[in-house]
Amino acid sequence: MKTIPLVAKPISQINLAPGSVATFLNVSWQEFELILQELNSKRRSRIAYSNHTLEIMVPLPEHEIPRDLISDIVKVLLKATNQRFQPFGSTTFKRENSAGVEPDACFYIQNYQRMIGRRRLQPDDPPPDLAIEADVTSKTKLDAYEAIAVPELWIFDSGKLILYVLSDGKYEVSETSPLFPNLAIAQIVPAVVERAWQVGNLQALEELEAQIWA
């Protein structure tokens, strides 16, 4: 009997519908790097890689709207607390031979001056101080963020915000944000997101600013 070899289809040609997730097992670091090059920067999908497993996710509006809004909330709060920052969007962060992630949004705060004008990440660049993920179609890989050593990670899931703080290389759930120790972040962010579904992002942000400066 003649054996017909399987035809390998380039990942860039796989058509994923919004809201879908594709998982690839036993992916080497070299294969991961090649896949990133193949997908290129114009893609709509997001990737997460750790423990030789690659996930590719195509977001829904239900994911994109909270993502953008929470990023804007962070900007409002950073300005209100007189903290300078440099946003880095969904940049791909990697730790060679270990992990790769693309947060929904991220911010440099402690090292913001160092990252101003940076068009490409350098091997010795620090991780962002804060990363944000909106979990709708997939769940955030904590081990990938631990490998990259992002100090603070916010995950918005099902209307709730969970704050993770890195301690001895592992994340611990925290009631408060080290970046905003005097603000009830876990209550503020979900409330503003819920309000935005009712009145729109702009008005929700305006109401937040009015409350802060009242």
Read off the pLDDT of each residue in 182-189 and give the average, rounded to a whole number.
96
User: pLDDT averaged over the chain?
Assistant: 87
Model confidence over 69-78: pLDDT tens digits? 999 999 999 9
| Domain residue spans of the chain | 60-213
For residue 8, is pLDDT > 50?
no
CATH number attached to the domain at 60-213: 3.90.1570.10
Q: What is the pLDDT of residues 16-53, one digit of tens each?
A: 777 778 888 999 999 999 888 887 765 678 888 998 99
Give the separation between CA 92 and CA 121, rounded to whole angstroms. Answer: 9
* Collapsed DSSP state (helix, strand, coil) of residue 134: strand
pLDDT surpasses 70 at 5: no
pLDDT band at 89 (very low <50, low <70, confident <90, very high): confident
Q: What is the pTM of this model?
A: 0.84
For the chain, give the percent of residues with pLDDT over 90. 61
DSSP 38-65: HH-TT-S-EEEEETTEEEEE---HHHHH
How do residues 103-144 score in pLDDT, each as one tens digit? 989 999 999 999 999 988 988 899 999 999 987 656 778 999
* pLDDT in the model for residue 160: 93
- DSSP secondary structure, 152-213, as one string: EEEEEETTEEEEEEEETTEEEEESSBTTBTTS-HHHHHHHHHHHHHHH-HHHHHHHHHHHHH
